[in-house]
Amino acid sequence: MDPKTALPLNTSRNMPILGLGTWQLKDDTAGTIAAALELGYRLIDTAVDYGTQPGIGEGIRRSGVERSDFYLVTKVEETDDAYEATRAYLGELGLDYADLMLIHRPPSSGPGEDLWRGLIKAKEDGLTRDIGVSNYSTDRIDRLIDATGEVPAVNQIEWSPFGYSDDMLRYGREKNMVIQAYSPLTRGKRLDDTTLGEIAGKHGKSPAQVLIRWNLQRGTAAVPKANQRAHLEENIDVFDFELSEDDMARLDGLNERFSSLGRLPYA
Ligand SMILES: NC(=O)c1ccc[n+]([C@@H]2O[C@H](COP(=O)([O-])OP(=O)(O)OC[C@H]3O[C@@H](n4cnc5c(N)ncnc54)[C@H](OP(=O)(O)O)[C@@H]3O)[C@@H](O)[C@H]2O)c1
């Protein structure tokens, strides 16, 4: 594995296994994006409500990286017209297409069939290469599939050893749907865990690096956010060590359905 390692999607395409999250990436967004691309990050995750889309576009242009060499994920909101919103967000980013458009979260009224139909049309019209969901339970995904026949390529959900779901992992494998972990560093809230610290110490790595590596070895993608240069460098330096089966089992054992946002909406 290396930073270019990609996971196969249920379409014919692939998605880089590691990316950069940009919620609250407010401190020189464009400069941070350009630095990340230079360091080797190949996936950037955003959403309109992060306010980072214009800065991401600027950072990409500044970096000079070819369009085919990076992967852009953004999201439509519950109250959006998904098709029109996709066009608007591409305008903010200054891009012709997204690699992956997600429904940010299911609307309160149901699974969001109309949003999903709008994204299907956006895909058909070339505004996005692939489509997926975020914060979805297996039940809601089933209802989207029943309504349209279209299986989401990705479910982006909060996911770390402290909060994950074996049922969701199994469901993802069954449907060939990739799980992309958000808040994979628990927003810093569990980095001082003793077990995590022991495993990190054994490998001469940081707790954050172990949390990222746990995802990579499970075949789940991850989008850690980092504004600080030292964090950007550290989080991509995860391809030169391997967690043992025992390390993985100990990390799996930390699951307590912890959520740094308050609740795991899928579990
Ligand atoms: N779909 C959704 O509903 C949803 C919800 C939440 C998040 N997300 C996405 O997932 C991304 C990541 O999640 P997140 O931002 O909530 O949390 P996170 O990635 O778990 O944690 C980010 C925090 O950890 C710090 N950090 C980064 N690298 C570190 C390291 N090596 N050591 C110690 N601290 C480190 C960052 O500091 P600095 O920034 O100061 O470097 C920041 O304060 C978001 O940015 C967003 O793109 C999606």
Closest CA to 220 of 163, 173, 150: 173
| 227 Cα: distance to centroid of ligand 1 (angstroms) | 9
Domain ranges of the chain: 14-188+219-239
Render each residue's pLDDT in the chain as its tens digit; 267 residues.
999 999 999 998 999 999 999 999 999 999 999 999 999 999 999 999 999 999 999 999 999 999 999 999 999 999 999 999 999 999 999 999 999 999 999 999 899 999 999 999 999 999 999 999 999 999 999 999 999 999 999 999 999 999 999 999 999 999 999 999 999 999 999 999 999 999 999 999 999 999 999 999 999 999 999 999 999 999 999 999 999 999 999 999 999 999 999 999 888
Residue 245 neighbours by CB distance under 10 Å: 8
List ligand 1's pocket residues with C-beta within 6 A.
21-23, 45, 104, 134-135, 156, 182-188, 191, 206, 208, 223-228, 231, 234-235
Residues 128/153, Cβ–Cβ less than 8 Å: no
CATH architecture for residues 14-188+219-239: Alpha-Beta Barrel (3.20)
Cα separation, 210 vs 7, whole angstroms:
19
| Residue nearest atom 13 of ligand 1, based on CA coordinates | 183
What residues are annotated to the active site? 50
Cα separation, 17 vs 23, whole angstroms:
19
In residues, how long is the chain? 267
Sort strands 98-103 and 71-76 into parallel, antiparallel or unpaired: parallel
Burial group, residue 228, by CB count within 10 angstroms (0-12, 13-18, 19+): exposed
| pLDDT value of residue 158 | 98
* Minimum-distance ligand 1 atom for the alpha carbon of 235: 31
| 131 Cα: distance to centroid of ligand 1 (angstroms) | 23
| pLDDT value of residue 12 | 87
| 143 Cα: distance to centroid of ligand 1 (angstroms) | 30
Question: DSSP assignment, residue 96?
Answer: S
| 142 Cα: distance to centroid of ligand 1 (angstroms) | 29
* Minimum-distance ligand 1 atom for the alpha carbon of 228: 41
